[in-house]
Every structure is written in C-alpha cells, then in structure tokens.
Amino acid sequence: MSMDMDRKRARDGWLLSAPALVLLILAASGPLLIVVIYAFLTPGEYSGIVWDFSLKAWFQVLFERDIFDQTVSFADAHLTIFWRSVRLSLVTTLLTFVFGFPTAWFIATRPPNQRAMWLFLITIPFWTNLLIRTFAIMEVIRLDGILNNALMGIGLLSEPLRIMYTDTAVLIGMTYVYLPLMVLPLFAAIDRLDFRLVEAGYDLYATRWQVLRRIILPIIKPGIIAGSILVFVPSLGAYVTPRLLGGGKKMMIGNFIELQFGAGRNWPLGSALSLILLLIVGIALIFYVRASTRSDANG
Amino acid sequence: MKRLLFTTTAAALVAGAAHAEGELNIFNWGNYTSPELIAKFEEMYDVKVTITDYDSNTTALTKIEAGGHGFDIVVPTHSYVPIYIEKGLLMETRPDQMENFANMDPNWVDVDWDPGRHYTVPWQWGSTGIAVNTTAYSGDINTSAIFLDPPAELQGQINVVPEMSDIMAMAVYYVGGTDGCTADMDILRAARDVLVAAKPSWLSMDYGTTDKLSSGEWVASVNWNGSTFRARLANPDVQYGYPVEGYPLWMDSVGVLADATNVENAKLFQNFIMDPENAAMISAFARYSNGIAGSDAFMPADMQTAPEINPPAELAAAGRFSPACPKEVQDIHTAIWTELQK
C-alpha cells in the first residue's frame, strides 16, 4: 500500500515537472548544443558558418597570430577583456553587499506587517525594462544631468563631474540593476536569524563588531553566498549597461562575443567564447555548492 | 527583436484577412521609412504594407538566408548587394526597364554593386564624416585628424561610432591608402598605429549621436551626414566636416527577394520610389539624399541648401564607396578592432 503511494507520488512528481523539463531541454539544452557544435566549425565568408570541422576558434580564444609578423603569442587582448569582466563583476558583487546588507537588515527588523511593503518597494524596479532604467541612469549622471545640476546648484561643484563613459558609471549602473538580487536572499537569511543569539553575545561582553563578525555573518552566510552568485553571474554577461554607460571604449565579454557574431563575422569564435563564459559561471556555481554544503555542515 | 517580428507578423496576418487586395512586406533599417510614403503607396495600389526593422546588414542577411522570413523587399547597403546577388537571394526585377527609371540620376545607373541596375533601386545615400560643435573648436573640421590626431581643444571629448568598416576605412585613407579594403600590410599597420595612438584622447565609442551632439554631451564625433543635419536643426553650433583625406560613402538599395510572395507589389514599390515626388518623401523623413533626379523640387527648402547634403565641390571627390571586405581583410580589421577596444 505505502509502496504504491510512494510510486504514485514519484510518478506524479515526474508528471508535474514534465512541462518545466521539456521547456529546459528545448529552450536551454537545444540552443546550447548548437553553440557547442558551432564552436567546432569554420566561419562563413560573410556571416554564419561552413560545415567544416575546425579547432581554429579554440586556438583563437587563447592565442593570436600577430597580424603583421605572423608570430604566435598569447592573446592578451582576450585575457584583458575577460579579466575586466571578472573584476567589474566582483566589485559589483561587493558593492551590492555593502548597500544590500544594511537594507536587508532594515527590512528584516521592521514589524512583520510592514515587511511585505518594503520588499514590494525593492521589487518595483523590475517592473521597468532594463534598457529604460539604464537610460534613466544616464539622465542622472550625464554632464548636464540631474546629479551635476543639483551639486552645482547647491555650490558643491564648480564644474560638472565627468561620470558617463567611465568604469564608475558602469559600476553605478550594475550595482543599481542587481541590488535587489542581493537584498532578497540576504533578507531571507536575516529574517530567520534568532535574535536571542545576538543578545547572548552582548551578555557575554562581545563588542558590536564581534557580534557582527562572529555571530551574524556566519549565520547568514548561505544568504550572502546566494546573493553573491545571483549578482556575479549576470554581471559577468552584462551587455547593455557597459555598452551604454561605459561608452563602448573598453569591451566586456558580452560585447566581445557580440562583435564576433556581428561585424567580426566569426561565429565559431563567438561560440567558443560563450562556452568559456559558461565555464566561468560553472566554476562559480561549483564554488557556491561547496561553500553552502560546508556551511550546512558547520551549522 | 524576435517579439517585434512576431507582433508585426501577427498584425500582418490580421490585417491581411481584412484587406484582400494585396500585401507587401518590407524589411528595412529602423526609423528609416517615411510613414507618409507608405500611406500613399497603400492608397494608390490598395496594398497593405508591413514594415519590419533590422539594425545591421549582418542581422538582415542572416535572417534572410535562414529562410521562412516572409519578406518581399530588403534594403541592404551597397556593399552587401553583391553578396545578396551572388547568393541568389535577390530577384532580377530589371528596374532599368521600369516606367520611372527615366528619373534615375545617371550617376547612379552604372554602379559597381549593380551595373545597369538589374536588381536594385536607390533608397538613400550619404557619407560618414565628422561632426564638431564649433563653440568648442573653430579650426578646420574637414579632416579625419579631428579624431585621429585631435587638436588640444577636443582631447578627451570625442566620440567615435563603433562602425568597424567605416572607422577602418577612414584610418586607411588618413594614412594614405585609397582602398578601404586594402590588403597592403604597411598601410594596415600604419592605420592600426594611428588608431591605437588616438584612442586615449577619445571619450567614448557609442551610437545615439544625434541627441548627444545636439545636447552638447559630445563636442565632436564621427557621424553620418543626415544625423548631423538633424543635430544641427536642434543646435546650430553643430557642423559637418568632409575629411579631405577621404571618407566613406554608402547607398542603401531596395531589392526584391528571390523568394518573395508578393512579387508584383514589390516591383510596383520599386517603380513607385523612382518617382521624384515619392523619393523626396523618403529624404524628407530621414534627411539623406536619394538617387532620383528632380526630387529636389519636392524636398523641404532646408534640404536644398544644407551643407550636410551638398558637399563643397573640392571635397566631393574624397568620398569613396567600398565593397564588403574579403574575409582575410575582415579578419585583420577585427583583430585591430579587438586590440583597439581591449
């Protein structure tokens, strides 16, 4: 009897998840397979691919043949672009934590009937398209924008600050866009925090810093890790924000991949680069799983 | 983009059911087609026209090669016309035998990309040059040195549009080359060096030039003539320069697709836009020249004297058409471009 129930439950489980599985296979694995295949083909003359097996794209990811003297060397341009993406994504993750932690703490310490309202406010930006939000930021930070006019109006600045088209502009944009993805998991973690532990810490003469470092942060660690992954992964592939706010002078991985599919007319290289990006994300996720199982074991 | 495609297709299906007479599906660059022109064509021939946008030649070519697109007309840049013809994607509609062909400016009949005009009809043509806000710099602006060796007043305030083929061609012309697709390594090396040396004095590499030039966010930019024209109408200080070293010209051309389903309507459209009055409507909307003689008479008065449309005689010859570069040259351009933007 109970065996039947178990089997029935398992079958129902499969049936219920079938739509999601089919969607995943069709919408994620299918295109991914095409990308994998394309990475091993030859670029077409004007766009697209030719069905000839080639490893050239993978060679091009790591090495470049000098245009003028044909010597082969390490592709430092590609490395620079990848490192810039990783660096800006790490800084974005750090910034969203610095701004997101106090915000999440504030929300989690409101009376329960007010929390839903604050969380609702956090999600409002998602109602607007990313492109429109990015243009709105441009309106704030541009030379003749709201920020410069306000600062000059109250006499803090004598001439406008050049923020647009710098890494600072990209960081402002990405931090703003991804902040909710950090706040929500942090809130979930802080919400479950047993505040009696904090009181116990104070009773044992811990300083505020010690309470934060030795009690609060270790307990909410899974939330920090989840938030960091949620911010880091999309930052790494960010395309619109660096293109619009960064001024396009320096590429990030997303823009570099787009170049290969557009003006560069080298789809195999674009596919290979996409797979490398996927690999970096995969490594980040493995790190996440490791870190969270370890914190589970400790907790 | 996909969703846009879907909704316009759905709209076409619904409209098609209501309107039995005929349909025409045009695939053209965004914000480029005069609505008045389309309304006039629809009324004249009782045809329902649907327009779908694209943003680059490669996007358009890829989508059309993939098939199943349902478009009748496409408007590639001149450099892509031979690619379409070679791949058998365009129908030989013989515009040269159409009624309104007599209006075609003789200069545009025997063009390299479609000799004798067996496939395409001009849509608009223009140049890629330099836009400068003259309150910031009052020197000579008819030179690519504005962005390749910038004067002190403009250092750090220049935008360069990220159009690889245009920028590479301008750099090649600047260092003494005459062919935008040259495979001469000495010229390419000099072009690379001049670009890499100039880049630190650029502010950005971005589109959206019309608004940012007129608002003063940028004081100089590589820009297209029609866009500079629109910027000047909003801010009279913005002027257009034609680099004496050489600058790219381009012509977007209307062709009928080989697998078009509304062939007769598409041919009617090709003939229709060779009428000077209709060609003038195209230009009045996007502010570029067309290739039809006698259309000036129907254009807004400000276009007939605009310096962005009428280059000074001594600089007109510096404008050059380039084909799409062969793959080997393209790969070198991409490598230089990557080095430039790393």
Split at pLDDT 50, 70, 90, the class of B199 is very high
CA distance A180 to chain B (A): 27
B287-327 pLDDT, tens per residue?
999 999 999 899 988 888 899 998 999 999 999 998 888 88
Numbers of helices and strands, H then E, in chain B: 14, 12
Distances (CA, A) of B29 to A71, B57, B60, B253, B286: 41, 9, 9, 11, 11
Give yes or no for residue B94 having a pLDDT over 70: yes
pLDDT at B73: 97
Residues in B closer than 8 angstroms to A170, CB to CB, are: none
Residues in A closer than 8 angstroms to B327, CB to CB, are: 43, 45, 265
pLDDT at A247: 85
Whole-number Å distance between alpha carbons of A123 and A104:
13
b/e A203-238 (16+ beta carbons within 10 angstroms → b): eeebeeeebeeebbeebbbbbbbbbbbbbbbbbbbb
pLDDT at B305: 87
Across the interface, which of A248, A260, A264 has its CB nearest the CB of B204? A248
Same domain? B280 vs B177: no
Residues in B closer than 8 angstroms to A266, CB to CB, are: 331, 334
Q: Is A10 helix (H, G, I), strand (E, B) or coil?
A: helix
Whole-number Å distance between alpha carbons of A130 and A153:
30
C-beta atoms of B327 and A43 within 8 A: yes
Mean pLDDT for chain B overall: 90
Whole-number Å distance between alpha carbons of B94 and A106:
72
pLDDT at B10: 42
pLDDT at A4: 73
C-beta atoms of B203 and A165 within 8 A: yes
C-beta atoms of B58 and A81 within 8 A: no
Is A43:A265 a contact under the CB 8 Å cutoff?
yes
E strand residue ranges, A127-281: none
Mean pLDDT for chain A overall: 88
C-beta atoms of B203 and A247 within 8 A: yes
Whole-number Å distance between alpha carbons of B47 and B263:
12
Same domain? B136 vs B273: no
Give yes or no for residue B205 having a pLDDT over 80: yes
* Average confidence (pLDDT) over B235-249: 96
Split at pLDDT 50, 70, 90, the class of A290 is confident
Same domain? B192 vs B333: yes
Domain locations along chain A: 62-298
Same domain? B245 vs B255: no
Split at pLDDT 50, 70, 90, the class of B5 is very low
Same domain? B45 vs B153: no
Task: Confirm or reject contact between B276 and chain A (CB < 8 A).
Answer: no
Is B15:B51 a contact under the CB 8 Å cutoff?
no
Percent of chain B scoring above 90 in pLDDT: 74
DSSP code string of B47-63: -EEEEEEES-HHHHHHH
Whole-number Å distance between alpha carbons of B74 and B69:
11
Compute the count of residue pairs across chains A and B with CB atoms less than 8 Å apart: 94
C-beta atoms of A256 and B331 within 8 A: no
- Report B:116-155 residues touching A (Cβ under 8 A): none
Same domain? B320 vs B206: yes
Tokens 């989508």 locate to B63
Tokens 């592709």 locate to A75
Split at pLDDT 50, 70, 90, the class of A264 is confident
Structural domain containing residue B83: 2-125+251-304
C-beta atoms of B217 and A244 within 8 A: no
Residues in B closer than 8 angstroms to A256, CB to CB, are: 338
Tokens representing A246 are 């960064």
CATH number at residue B59: 3.40.190.10
Q: CA of A167: which chain B residue's CA is closest?
A: B204
Q: B209: which residues sit within 8 A by CB, 6+ positions away?
A: B131, B159, B161, B218, B221, B223, B224, B227, B228, B231
Q: Tell me how crowded residue A55 is: count the other CB atoms within 10 A of its CB.
A: 11
Same domain? B103 vs B48: yes
Same domain? B171 vs B99: no
- Report B:63-102 residues touching A (Cβ under 8 A): 65, 80, 83
Q: Which of A14-18, A163-167, A294-298, B37-41 has the lowest mean pLDDT?
A: A294-298
* Average confidence (pLDDT) over B39-46: 94
Task: Confirm or reject contact between B61 and chain A (CB < 8 A).
Answer: yes
B145-175 pLDDT, tens per residue?
999 999 999 999 999 998 889 999 999 999 9
Give yes or no for residue B16 having a pLDDT over 50: no
pLDDT at B11: 43
- Give the residues across from B256 on adjacent strands: B73
Give yes or no for residue B9 having a pLDDT over 60: no
Same domain? B185 vs B282: no
CA distance B336 to chain A (A): 8
Task: Confirm or reject contact between B60 and chain A (CB < 8 A).
Answer: no
Q: CA of B333: which chain A residue's CA is closest?
A: A264
Q: Which of A21-35, B32-46, B267-281 has the lowest mean pLDDT?
A: A21-35
pLDDT at B8: 43
Same domain? B109 vs B162: no
C-beta atoms of A46 and B164 within 8 A: no
> ipTM of this predicted complex?
0.78
Across the interface, which of A48, A255, A263 has its CB nearest the CB of B164? A263
Beta strands B73-74; B247-256: pairing state: antiparallel
* Average confidence (pLDDT) over A206-224: 92
CA distance B107 to chain A (A): 28
Same domain? B166 vs B178: yes
Domain count, chain B: 2
**Domain A62-298 = CATH 3.10.20.30:** no
pLDDT at B181: 93
* Average confidence (pLDDT) over A201-210: 92
A226-254 pLDDT, tens per residue?
999 999 999 998 888 888 898 888 888 99
Specify the pTM. 0.82
Same domain? B140 vs B258: no
Mutation pick from A161, A244, A249, A250 vs chain B, by most beta carbons of B within 10 Å, is A249
pLDDT at A48: 76
The alpha carbon of B116 is separated from its chain's Cα centroid by a whole number of angstroms, namely 21
Across the interface, which of B80, B188, B342 has its CB nearest the CB of A81? B342
Task: Confirm or reject contact between B327 and chain A (CB < 8 A).
Answer: yes
C-beta atoms of B58 and A262 within 8 A: yes
Is B194:B147 a contact under the CB 8 Å cutoff?
no
Split at pLDDT 50, 70, 90, the class of B134 is very high
Give yes or no for residue B6 having a pLDDT over 50: no
